[in-house]
Amino acid sequence: MPARTGRAVLDNLRANPPSLWLNGELITDPTVHPQTANCATSLAALYDLQLRDDLVDTMTCTSPTTGERVGMSFVIPETVEDLQRRGEMHRTWANAHLGFMGRAPDYLNVNVMAAGTASAYFDRCDPRFGTNMRNYFEFVRDNDLALTHALTNPQVDRTRTASELSDPFIAMGKVRETGDGIIVRGARMLATLPISDEILIFPSTVLKGGDDLKPYALAFAIPNNTPGLSFQCREPLDHGASHADHPLASRFDEMDAMVYFDDVLVPWERVFLMDDIGLANNAYAGTDAVLHMAHQVVNLKIAKTEAFLGVIQAVVDMIGTNSYQHVQEMIAEVIIILEIMKALKVASEVGASKNAHGVMTPLRGPLDAARNYYPSMYQRLVEILRLTASSGLITIPSAADLAGPRGDDIRKYLASAGGDAGTRIRLMRLAWDMTISGFGGRQQHYENFFFGDPVRMRQALYGVYDRSALVERVLAFAEDTEWPVIAG
């Protein structure tokens, strides 16, 4: 199958629904359930963008195995230009949802591309696994599947390793091997976009211990409707309101879920890594998947920051505060954040080089800087939008109010310098959903932990960033007593 249409996405969800549990019930069809249908429709709309006549060259490339058009996020970059073309694809999808779908399918598409082209890494565990990883990448690409993933263990007791808990299968691990595959049991968190086709399980990078942790060193992928696999969803943020009243939540509540594995059979052809703690801990870095994922993320965050800048400017134009000095100063701050992110993206591409597997790979330094910079800056973006919109984020009647008996009063008292009451309300609803609604609050928390705990992220940056040449330079300067002195 070439790049899918939105209808094909929805048809597959109806035919093979994931086992989603929400509010005590099993969702049998996520395409029609009132609290998942809107996101399913939005997901389908992204796939339709791939095949739009004016975007098909931006959104797709040619599969080397089938000759069909497939998603550009699956391209194997050979040049800097390939990375830039893929970036255009990332931004086109991100602009469609204003950057508010953190787990749109292109995020994990670049993961499986990097892992599939680095199949030799998995060969080190078992030659079968390298073949499996390469085949899986081609399968996902040529069937244009949407994936979710879940990385971390349940937060039961962080003072103990998974093997030391009262039940060694609270954290998902391998129970046993069979002729057909491996049996896994336990839980993982946190799967975003469980209304997808398959789940990719890659190793957590925090397996610190001895052989007792081998059962947790796993990588595999299975369909979301596999027997024994289920998703326990959080409370929805899409409350069935209109797009006018909840412009983001009613479209892009991706849902987050705990994933339960109740003695799930993973066929041997879907196993990519097993029992090797060293390979598990280095899987993302060793395949360079983390860098391609970070490249997608930087493009996504640029689109999201542009959305904030657009909304903030529209709000101050609407209420007539655009000439205030302190408002201009805050908007300039947003511009600086945006331009820094854009510069880091360009630096990662211009500095790219081919890795050991022949894949053009973005430069790590700028991407690590972006991953550590943006979480705190996102909190500032939210704050600036709240400050500039001020009480306008609170006094927002609903679309039903505007159409109701008091509509004339609303049109009179909520008109503004930049537009009528209806225009103002729609804009403020968007600003509200970006900041202080339940959806906005989830986004703020999500961004803070997008790549992990911020403190650990900085510790990781400290560990990988090579500063030795800089230390040598300054020590040599300090020791140089022959620096010329010009007499006065």
Name the nearest CA neighbour of 275 among 217, 211, 206.
217
Q: For residues 283 and 290, give the distance between their C-alpha atoms in angstroms, rounded to a whole number.
A: 9
Q: For residues 184 and 201, give the distance between their C-alpha atoms in angstroms, rounded to a whole number.
A: 11
With a CB cutoff of 8 Å and minimum separation 6, the contacts of 160 are none
Question: Residue 357 is encoded by which pair of tokens?
Answer: 């597997």
User: Do you know the residue count of the chain?
Assistant: 488
Please tell me the predicted confidence (pLDDT) of residue 4.
Answer: 96
Give the pLDDT confidence of 119-159 residue by residue, as tens digits: 999 999 999 999 999 999 999 999 999 999 999 999 898 88
More reliable by pLDDT, 305 or 449: 305
Please tell me the predicted confidence (pLDDT) of residue 487.
Answer: 72
Give the pLDDT confidence of 368-416 residue by residue, as tens digits: 999 999 999 999 999 999 999 999 999 899 999 999 999 999 999 999 8
Give the pLDDT confidence of 45-60 residue by residue, as tens digits: 999 999 999 999 999 9
Please tell me the predicted confidence (pLDDT) of residue 80.
Answer: 98
Q: Which amino acid, one-letter code, is at 171?
A: A
Q: For residues 32 and 148, give the distance between their C-alpha atoms in angstroms, rounded to a whole number.
A: 20
Give the pLDDT confidence of 74-95 residue by residue, as tens digits: 999 999 999 999 999 999 999 9
Q: What is the DSSP letter of 153?
A: -
Name the nearest CA neighbour of 203 among 104, 269, 100, 133.
133
Q: For residues 151 and 388, give the distance between their C-alpha atoms in angstroms, rounded to a whole number.
A: 37
Question: Residue 152 is encoded by which pair of tokens?
Answer: 């971390």
Q: For residues 116 and 140, give the distance between their C-alpha atoms in angstroms, rounded to a whole number.
A: 10
Give the pLDDT confidence of 249-264 residue by residue, as tens digits: 999 999 999 999 999 9
Q: For residues 231 and 240, give the distance between their C-alpha atoms in angstroms, rounded to a whole number.
A: 21
Q: Which amino acid, one-letter code, is at 473?
A: R
Residue 235: burial class (beta carbons within 10 Å; 0-12, 13-18, 19+): exposed
- CA angle 274–275–278, rounded 5-degree value: 100
With a CB cutoff of 8 Å and minimum separation 6, the contacts of 421 are 402, 410, 411, 412, 413, 414, 415
Q: Does residue 205 surpass a pLDDT of 80?
A: no
Question: Residue 53 is encoded by which pair of tokens?
Answer: 């006549």
Q: For residues 147 and 140, give the distance between their C-alpha atoms in angstroms, rounded to a whole number.
A: 9
Confidence label for 203 from pLDDT (cuts 50, 70 and 90): confident
How confident is the prediction for the chain on average, in pLDDT? 95
Helices marked H in 282-324 — which ranges? Answer: 283-287, 289-319
Q: Which amino acid, one-letter code, is at 92?
A: T
Q: For residues 48 and 39, give the distance between their C-alpha atoms in angstroms, rounded to a whole number.
A: 14
Q: What's the mean pLDDT in 284-301?
A: 97
Confidence label for 70 from pLDDT (cuts 50, 70 and 90): very high
Helices marked H in 325-453 — which ranges? Answer: 325-350, 364-389, 399-403, 407-413, 421-435, 438-448
Please tell me the predicted confidence (pLDDT) of residue 158.
Answer: 83
With a CB cutoff of 8 Å and minimum separation 6, the contacts of 62 are 68, 69, 70
* pTM score: 0.95
Q: What is the DSSP letter of 320?
A: T
Using DSSP's 3-state secondary structure scheme, residue 404 falls into coil
Name the nearest CA neighbour of 238 among 224, 252, 217, 218.
252
Residue position matching structure tokens 């500095």: 351
Confidence label for 417 from pLDDT (cuts 50, 70 and 90): confident
Percentage of the chain lying above the pLDDT 90 cut: 89
Using DSSP's 3-state secondary structure scheme, residue 451 falls into coil
Least confident of 21-30, 45-54, 199-208: 199-208
Please tell me the predicted confidence (pLDDT) of residue 1.
Answer: 63
